Amino acid sequence: MKKILFMLVLITGISISYAQEDIKNDLPEYTGDNFSLEGALALFKDAKSLEEFEKLINQENNNVNNLDLNNDGETDYIVVEDIQENDTHVIVLSTFLNEKEKQDIAIIGIEKTGKESAILQIEGDSELFAENTIVEPFEVDEKIEKSKGGPNAPEITPTSMVVNVWFWPSVRFIYTPGYKVWRSPFRWGYYPKWWKPWRPYRYSIFYGKCSYHRLHFKRTSTHRVVVARKIYTPKRSKSTLVVHNKRGTTVIQKNKKGKTTVIKSKRNSKRR
């Protein structure tokens, strides 16, 4: 009987050890991968205002946000701010890590290209994402060409098209005459009553949950939105508390006397 109990304890211990190791290895390559850029664009497309957009990205069932940059065991609240200069808008998504520190997560750059045409891209912040992580909407056009194999065998070549986003409700909203530039009223310690943070999911689970967002949006290395990036660069918020590392983040905590303590190493073990 003692041998059986010993074996059960041993097997249980080994199983727990493997499970813990599995959790440690279940991490994204970059910290920002716990935020779905494709999902953010999908919600932005459907939102009727920036206020509604902010609410949508902070709801668990929309499967966009899985970030916990300050390592408190709960997802971070994402605030939305619009920076406007003439016909160009920069929608900044960011989060507060404490009363003073703010970290940008991504920007949606929108540029008007005609009377009823506009283009946009979302780009992840380089502190959290790989350099030049850009996502944009796409549509596929089929071009029929004569086949080299004979006159009766035409070739159909699918090509990706740049999408005109002018008729998205959110885009029409910010270009409405009399539009007042949106800036989230929320900050550290002051959140909307409807918001309920949740414990972040393990990365593999989160990746699966937000997979459907990737159907209509693609990653690209081409910067089509150029003016918006120039407007945003001098206004970018970068926290001194978050140090970007591949496969994780180091969070630096300072006390009132200025003493610095590393409270989170390169590998984040607080994921479920």
Q: Where are the domains of the chain?
A: 31-238
Report the C-alpha gap between 64 and 105 in whole angstroms: 12
Chain mean pLDDT for the chain: 82
DSSP, residue by residue, 233-251: GGG----SSEEEETTEEEE
Q: What is the average per-residue pLDDT within 176-182?
A: 95
Report the C-alpha gap between 36 and 215 in whole angstroms: 13
Q: Is the pLDDT assigned to residue 196 strictly greater than 80? A: yes
Question: Highest-confidence range of 51-60, 69-78, 207-216, by mean pLDDT?
Answer: 51-60
Q: What is the average per-residue pLDDT within 157-161?
A: 58
List of residues 6+ apart from 59 with CB closer than 8 A = none
Report the C-alpha gap between 44 and 171 in whole angstroms: 9
pLDDT at 146: 60
- Residue 133: phi and psi, rounded to 5, are -85, 100
Cβ atoms of residues 195 and 74 within 8 Å: no
Q: What is the average per-residue pLDDT within 206-211?
A: 94
Q: Is the pLDDT assigned to residue 132 strictly greater than 60? A: yes
pLDDT at 37: 98
DSSP, residue by residue, the chain: -HHHHHHHHHHHHHHHHHHHHHHHH---SSGGGGB-HHHHHHHHHH-SSHHHHHHHHT-GGG--B---TT-SSSPPPPEEEEEEETTEEEEEEEEESSSS-EEEEEEEEEEEEETTEEEEEEEE-TTTS-TT-EEEEEEEEEEEE--TT-TT--EEEEEEEE---TTSHHHHHHTSTTPPPPB---BTTB--TT----PPPPHHHHHHHTGGGGGSEEEES-----HHHHHHGGG----SSEEEETTEEEEEEE-TT--EEEEE-SS-----
Q: What angle do CA 188, 61, 25 make, to 5 degrees?
A: 80
Q: Give the model's confidence band at 239: pLDDT under 50 very low, under 70 low, under 90 confident, else very high.
A: confident
pLDDT at 257: 53
pLDDT tens profile 106-125: 999 999 999 999 999 999 99
Q: What is the average per-residue pLDDT within 5-28?
A: 50
pLDDT at 247: 55
Report the C-alpha gap between 228 and 111 in whole angstroms: 7
Q: What is the average per-residue pLDDT within 81-105?
A: 96
Q: Give the model's confidence band at 162: pLDDT under 50 very low, under 70 low, under 90 confident, else very high.
A: confident
Q: Give the model's confidence band at 144: pLDDT under 50 very low, under 70 low, under 90 confident, else very high.
A: low
